[in-house]
A = this chain, B = another copy of it.
Amino acid sequence: MAAAWMAHCGIHARIVDKRNSKIFCGQADGLQCRSLEIFDSLGFADRAWKEANHMIEICMWNPGPDGIIHRSDRLPDTIVGQSRFQQIVLHQGRIERFFLDNIKKYSNDGIRIERGVLPESLEIDETKVDDDDAYPVTVKLRQLSDEEAAPKQQETASKGASDGLFRSSLNQEDDEEDLIAQSKARSGDEEIVHAKYVIGCDGARSWTRRTLGFELQGEATDFIWGVMDIIPITDFPDIRMRCAIHSAENGSLMNIPRENGLTRLYIQLKEVTPDASGRADRSKITPENIFSAAQKILSPYKIDYEYCDWWTAYQIGQRVGTNFDAHNRVFLAGDAVHTHSPKAGQGMNVSMQDCFNLGWKVALVAKGIAKRSILSTYQSERREIAQALIDFDHRFSRLFSGRPAKDVMDAEGVSMEVFKDAFLKGNMFASGLSVDYGPSNLVAKSSAQTLATGLPLGMRFNSFKVLNQSDARPWHFQERLKADGRFRIVLFAGNILDPSQKTRVDAFCAALDQPRSFLRRATRDDAPIDSVIDILTIHSAKRVDTELLRDFPAILHPFNTRTGWDYNKVFVDDVSYHEGFGDAYKNYGVDKEKGCVVAVRPDQYVGWVGTLEDFDGLQAYFEGCLAI
């Protein structure tokens, strides 16, 4: 994700991975709505949407009075009306493929993953961390041999289904030291790299984190779960639904239907418990034992399989990093700063979103467009999310691992009503859409929020359909907020056919066009006027009564001597022929006559809201975050 930003923003970057191949099976699989919105901003949500299994319904199964599991509830898997996407499932290897293709398509200088490359040392020259032109981070890289770079999974793959235990939380070993020692014995395979910024996305046992001396803080539980990806042969009726199943005595199971007929089973292993040191007996963790537990939980339904794609096991724990960066020069993201249980499908999503938050900031600072101070918002914005994730997982996983209460008097058991309630509340969190970044020089929370009640400051710009004024094509407005590193101003121009409103729009545009405006100052003289900040307009007059060239100031549809007027910046909130009515003004909570102005960050989060007259406020917002 970070590399995708660098490719889209034209920043020189390298990616090193100690492993010699991408993921082929197993690992993460769930994609929440917000991740799909992000994929769309990068340009490949359609690929994921097409290949994935779409999870539509969650079925809850609980013991009845007779102790036999039965379906107690059906809920929509994704909250209705929150996003144009719904939660889907697709294995991580495909998602990595989409990223690789996307990086290749957008990168000018061939950013690619350098595999079998290990960092051996990382040093920060603290005297240079505030110098914009310096390269204060020095990393020594080692090229591994093919054998060293092969994950243990691959070594044993021929014996049966691949297993992921080598990456499991049950595995306490770190192999970097061994690998560094081994490869040091060879000469000529090392390289010194001087970097402006380094991002460590190296997982729960992050070498980068340990090298920086930072810690993950939190706790583990006694709950151990197995995971299996199988093609099920079963008479269980909801095998193609996401299911949360609590058996009376045999533990719990979550079913996640996957693409290609696969299903993923998360299976509580009640018979495996950690010893006094907190470590589980790994000899008991076999596919046979895990599947046997699943069969007991699902009884009286039968389940079997001929094909297992992958399996692993993990011990539930929740930990969050003490620091997310060192001197705003080296950053940690993903599992390197937050680990938790995988059942809610959050790990890959929250981790990608860490870098979706960070990448454009690093890129714009590296280009000299944004102030370096915006980098501090990475920790302030994402640590809060990580903590919320840990809290959510802590609550949810204990409810899931608990024995169902037999009746209201059974205080030790988990009430299935409480579980369902937690599940519903968790669903909003799990969608990724509830992220609400706090105030900073990128988010100007203010009372002007009332001008656009459907666009909360600090939250992602929600999407409704509008029509292109010039060709009547309907677009989900978010489709126009691409991840190209540009800030955006969305001018809700209101009723442009009303003369007094037209005067307001003209005045706002005249201010934009002045030499001292943030727009002119942020843009190099030889660059197109929309190269740093893109201005998009949504008006509320009737499309057929309105004309682009007649009714809208030129700065809203800039002229280019080779390509003429820009027909892709002015939109209208009107009825489409084939795709209904987005009713955008109503849904965004904006006055149809008077409109308002909204500034949007490159990652689609709402940064500023104000009236058309508050140009100074808008100028101040951009002076706060841009290097102007």
Contact = CB atoms under 8 A, between A and B. Distances in A.
Interface of A: 46, 50, 53-57, 74, 76, 78, 80, 86, 231-235, 237, 239-241, 257, 261, 306-307, 468, 470-474, 544, 547-550, 561-565, 567, 576-578
A40 to B, nearest CB: 11
Given A237-B547, A578-B80, A578-B86, A563 B261 contact: yes
Contact of A46 (B50, B53, B239): B50
A480 to B, nearest CB: 14
Given A56-B577, A56-B578, A233-B563, 13 more contacts: A54-B471, A56-B473, A57-B472, A78-B578, A231-B563, A232-B564, A240-B468, A240-B471, A241-B470, A241-B471, A257-B471, A306-B563, A307-B563
Contacts of A563: 231, 233, 261, 306-307
Contacts of A472: 56-57, 241
Contacts of A78: 577-578
Nearest to A260: B563
Contacts of A240: 468, 470-471, 567
Contacts of A231: 562-564
A307 B86 contact: no
A602 B13 CA distance: 50
8 contacts: A46-B50, A56-B577, A80-B577, A233-B565, A237-B549, A241-B472, A306-B563, A307-B562
A57 B471 contact: yes
Contacts of A257: 471
Contacts of A261: 563-564, 567
A235 B559 CA distance: 11
Q: How many copies of this chain are found per oligomer?
A: 2
Task: List the 10 closest pairs (A to B, CB-CB), nearest first.
Answer: A233-B564, A240-B471, A56-B472, A240-B470, A76-B577, A57-B472, A306-B562, A54-B473, A240-B567, A237-B547
Contacts of A56: 471-474, 576-578
B577 A57 contact: yes
Contacts of A80: 577-578
Contacts of A50: 46
A240 B571 CA distance: 14
Contact of A235 (B234, B549, B576, B577): B549
A53 B468 CA distance: 12
A55 B472 CA distance: 8
Contacts of A547: 237
Nearest to A85: B578
A57 B578 CA distance: 11
Nearest to A75: B577
A265 to B, nearest CB: 14
A33 to B, nearest CB: 11
A599 B578 CA distance: 30
Contacts of A577: 56-57, 76, 78, 80
A237 B543 CA distance: 13
Contacts of A76: 577-578
B548 A237 contact: yes
A414 B547 CA distance: 29
A230 to B, nearest CB: 10
Contacts of A567: 239-240, 261
A153 to B, nearest CB: 24
Nearest to A261: B563
A444 B547 CA distance: 52
Nearest to A57: B472
Nearest to A50: B46
A544 B562 CA distance: 59
Contacts of A46: 46, 50
A472 B59 CA distance: 11
Contacts of A232: 564
Which of A240, A474, A567 is most buried by chain B, counting CB atoms within 10 A of its CB? A240
B306 A544 contact: no
Most chain B C-beta atoms within 10 Å of own C-beta, residue among A56, A235, A549, A576: A56
A29 to B, nearest CB: 15
Contacts of A235: 549
A74 B471 CA distance: 12
A564 B468 CA distance: 48
A233 B549 CA distance: 12
A261 B562 CA distance: 11
Contacts of A237: 547-550
A497 to B, nearest CB: 15
Nearest to A84: B578
Contacts of A54: 471, 473
A431 to B, nearest CB: 13
Contacts of A241: 470-472
Name, among A257, A567, A576, A577, the residue most crowded by chain B CB atoms within 10 Å (CB to CB).
A577
A241 B468 CA distance: 11
Q: Which of A53, A86, A472 has the most CB of B within 10 A?
A: A472
A468 B86 CA distance: 16
A80 B78 CA distance: 30
A284 to B, nearest CB: 28
A79 B577 CA distance: 9
Contacts of A578: 56, 76, 78, 80, 86
Nearest to A262: B563
A59 to B, nearest CB: 10
A50 B40 CA distance: 12
Contacts of A562: 231, 306-307
Nearest to A470: B240
A561 B306 contact: yes
A233 B261 CA distance: 53
